[in-house]
Amino acid sequence: MNEVLYTVKIRKILFGSKESNGLIANLVIYSLLIGIGFVYLYPLIYMFANSMKDLNDLLNPMVNWIPTHIFYGNYTKALKVLNYFPTLYGTLYVTLITTIAQVISSAFIGYGFARYNFVGKKLFLFLMIITFLIPQQLLMIPRFLIFQRLHMLKNVLAFFVPAIFGQGINQALFILIFYQFFSMIPKSTEEAAQIDGANDFIVFLKIAIPSAVPAFVITFALSMVWYWNETYLTSLYFGDAIRTLPLQLQKFVDTYQRMFGTGVVITDRLNEAVRMAGTLLTILPLLVIYFIIQKRLIESIDSVGITGE
């Protein structure tokens, strides 16, 4: 009898039960999570390790991951080449203003599709989805000509105006996210508020927006990443009037050679470590923002599957 109980206990520990996973299942799950996490973290670890190496460590085949000593000179050069803080200000200026405009307009448009019936609603919804399928490259020349006539080039209006009117980068996706969340709000809740004397705007402000906080977090994060990393449209619309970090990173080699010459002194030559430092400095603000909103973002993604009335 004791041997049977002992066998059952061992089996429960190894294979688990209906209430919990066993040791083997946990090992498989955590091994997969660690493997996937390493795949995503490997580029960052590689860039950071190489960016802290001096020229001797780069040329030494025995030094792989851990440099012999910490070297900050690569970051000093990268900061100068990127003209970092003025460029960071310009990047945040363009990205945040456009992202906020896109999130706000997406919320209004999504709420209108979710809560109001009007002539041609399905047609407009279909056309809105179609805009997501059309590549931006097909629209950039007509938009460029329109912006040129309206004197909107070389300033943030080239991004802000399309975003506020529902035509920002991948904005159809954000409208659909808000449309889903607002459709899940029970109509009885809004009707009760209207009976108490609340108008449509108050219902939207006091009931709809608090219920769609996950949608706001998701759309803000995705929109900011897409506008931050956009280089082709940024260079086309802004030219040299507004410089962003990704654009400066594209010009990193040419700018470095202009500032430090062709490398008569071997320590001044452009090497992999300086490039890695410049790349890390470019994505660093996004990493900081992600860590700040990480908890809220994960909760928001988990709540996407919630169903309602």
Task: Give residue-wise pLDDT tens across range 198-217.
Answer: 787 888 888 888 888 888 88
- Can you list the residues of the chain whose pLDDT is less than 70? 1-23, 261-269, 299-309
Cβ–Cβ < 8 Å for 300, 213: yes
Q: Could you tell me the pTM of the whole model?
A: 0.81
Rg, the chain, Cα only: 26
Q: Residue 98's closest CA among 148, 46, 166, 153?
A: 166
Between CA 51 and CA 69 the distance in angstroms is 12
pLDDT of residue 91: 92
DSSP letter string, 153-200: TTSTHHHHHHHHTT-STTHHHHHHHHHHHHHTS-HHHHHHHHHTT--H
CA angle 216, 285, 259 (to 5 degrees): 145
Alpha helix stretches (DSSP H) within the chain: 2-15, 23-51, 55-59, 73-82, 84-115, 121-133, 136-149, 157-164, 171-183, 187-195, 200-203, 209-211, 213-229, 232-238, 245-250, 252-260, 272-302
**What sign does the CA torsion over 73, 75, 77, 80 have?**
negative
Residue 68 identity (one-letter amino acid) = T
Q: Provide the CA 195 distance to its chain's centre, in angstroms.
A: 40
CATH code for the part of the protein at 79-305: 1.10.3720.10
pLDDT value, residue 10: 66
Cα–Cα nearest to 236, from 146, 117, 128, 164: 146
Residue holding tokens 């999130």? 103
**Domain residue spans of the chain:** 2-74, 79-305
| Count of other CB atoms within 10 angstroms of residue 148 | 12
Query: Using N-to-C axis directions, what is the helix angle for 272-302 and 84-115, rounded to 10°?
Result: 20
- By CB atoms closer than 10 A (0-12, 13-18, 19+), residue 49 is middle
**Measured distance CA(243)–CA(234) in Å, rounded:** 9
Copy the structure tokens of residue 234: 């940024």
